[in-house]
Amino acid sequence: MFKPMPLSEAQSLPFWRRPVALLFLMALAMPIAFNTWSALLNNFVIEAANFDGADIGLLHTVREIPGFLAVGVIAVILFVREQVLGLISLVLLGVATAVTAWFPSLGGLLMVTLLSSIGFHYYETVNQSLQLQWLPKDRAPQTLGWLVAAGSAATLVVYGLIVLTWESLGLSYNTVFLAAGGLTAVIALFALLAYPQFDAPHPQTKKLILRKRYWLYYALQFMAGARRQIFVVFAGFMMVEKFGFEVHELTGLYLINLVINMTVAPVLGKAVAAFGERRTLIFEYAGLAIVFAAYGGIYWFGWGVAIAAVLYIVDHVLFALALALKTYFQKIADPGDIAPTAAVAFTINHIAAVFLPVLLGLLWVFEPGLVFALAAGMALVSLALSLLIPRHPEPGNETIFSKYASPAPAE
């Protein structure tokens, strides 16, 4: 069961035990705990712990510390296989989510959030690495799109149950957190026991590496992390604080997003394959700049809840295009660099996450619109960086400047 199996031999296994099936199983398991936690969090912290904007900013800063320390994955995989580390991390995420409602105070929520975040961020780091190692380059965009759709489908079931049963059955936060977190932990344990340990054809470098030729990927990751924080922390919080959304109403909005993602994500994967990473990311960042500027307009011009809900949905669709950043790196990377660079990139992605939520939480108390204006500016910076991606990225052609820095690689 735990004997390593070369990836080339995995095709002899039943389909449900192959590497791509494991990727889909993990894609189904993680959102059950994480997105349930996200859906309930804003209402729970306001009702149970009387959070304000500064408190929610502090909570998310603590939540992002493990992401900033994701580079530690490089040290862990010296002793633990990536696949095993990813599944153990998924168990930790599930268990910590399950007990969230047992700690209805600022200190308690900071503690349990830190534990669940360690599980989430170490899982995500390893999962991204395994995806890029196990998926062939020609099929990666389409398969990544289907993985996004699978995660959306799993979350759709969970959110649908919340919407249908929250009021009618009088569900408590504790019941839902326990059910969702417990299910994720059980699925992860099953995957840990049921699948062989797959060996990718290229051994991974197990030390910290920073390569100059990956600088654009690092920069895009940094900006993506800074921009994402504003959406993750404040967009949902706005719906509850400004428009008084209740749990079933906010979850209903998430449901709309999920249905759209299930339909659109596979199409977006094909779009990345057809139009390339450069055009896809330009489109994403231009759209996000418009959306964030419009979020600010909700506060400056008094736009209503309908506009806020539409912006929230468009925001989610545009974020699904981030898979193009993964495939950009897959195309320019040395095969052995994928695991250490995934860890480094996760840390870079979370540099801003460590200080932005708490600082912007303080700004939110005085002027929420400015928070979204800053996000629009960050999206414009990302747009400028995306213009530096070549039409056909590959090793030796990482940016539009590469042809001036070194000879083109041999055909």
DSSP, collapsed to helix, strand or coil, labels residue 397 as strand
> For position 247, what pLDDT does the model report?
67
CA distance 166 to 180: 14
Closest to 2 in 3D by CA, of 88, 84, 74: 84
> For position 25, what pLDDT does the model report?
92
Q: Which residue has the higher pLDDT, 297 or 242?
A: 297
> For position 246, what pLDDT does the model report?
75
What are 239's two structure tokens? 């719906």
What are 354's two structure tokens? 């460590």
> For position 283, what pLDDT does the model report?
93
Q: Tell me how crowded residue 235 is: count the other CB atoms within 10 A of its CB.
A: 21
> For position 208, what pLDDT does the model report?
73
Closest to 257 in 3D by CA, of 124, 144, 159, 375: 159
β-sheet bridge partners, residue 313: none
| Tens-digit pLDDT profile for residues 101-125 | 888 878 888 889 899 989 998 898 8
Cα separation values, 184 from 129, 221, 230, Å: 21, 28, 27
Segment (H or E) for 105: none
| Tens-digit pLDDT profile for residues 375-390 | 899 999 999 999 999 9
DSSP, collapsed to helix, strand or coil, labels residue 5 as strand
Q: Please tell me which of 73-77, 94-98, 306-310, 322-326 the model is most confident about, judged by mean pLDDT.
A: 94-98
Q: Please tell me which of 25-34, 307-316, 330-339 the model is most confident about, judged by mean pLDDT.
A: 25-34
Q: How confident is the model at residue 282 (pLDDT cuts 50, 70, 90)?
A: very high
> For position 205, what pLDDT does the model report?
65
Closest to 229 in 3D by CA, of 64, 110, 32: 64
Mean pLDDT in residue range 281-285: 93
Half-sphere CA count of 373, side-chain side, radius 13 A: 10
CA distance 92 to 122: 10
CA distance 195 to 86: 13
Mean pLDDT score of the chain, rounded to an integer?
A: 82
CA distance 185 to 84: 14
CA distance 382 to 399: 14
Contact 150, 27 (CB under 8 A): yes
Task: Tell whether the model's pLDDT for residue 76 goes beyond 70.
Answer: yes
Closest to 328 in 3D by CA, of 240, 393, 237, 261: 393
> For position 2, what pLDDT does the model report?
59
β-sheet bridge partners, residue 197: 4
Q: How far apart are the first and last CA of the chain?
A: 42
Half-sphere CA count of 409, side-chain side, radius 13 A: 10
| Tens-digit pLDDT profile for residues 181-214 | 999 999 999 999 988 888 776 666 666 777 888 8
Q: Which residue has the higher pLDDT, 118 or 316?
A: 118
> For position 404, what pLDDT does the model report?
62
Query: Parallel, antiparallel, or unpaired for β 4-6 and 197-199?
Result: parallel
Q: How confident is the model at residue 68 (pLDDT cuts 50, 70, 90)?
A: low
CA distance 251 to 235: 13
Measure CA 308 to chain center.
22
CA distance 309 to 256: 10
Residue 139 φ then ψ, to 5°:
-110, 0
> For position 405, what pLDDT does the model report?
59
> For position 408, what pLDDT does the model report?
44
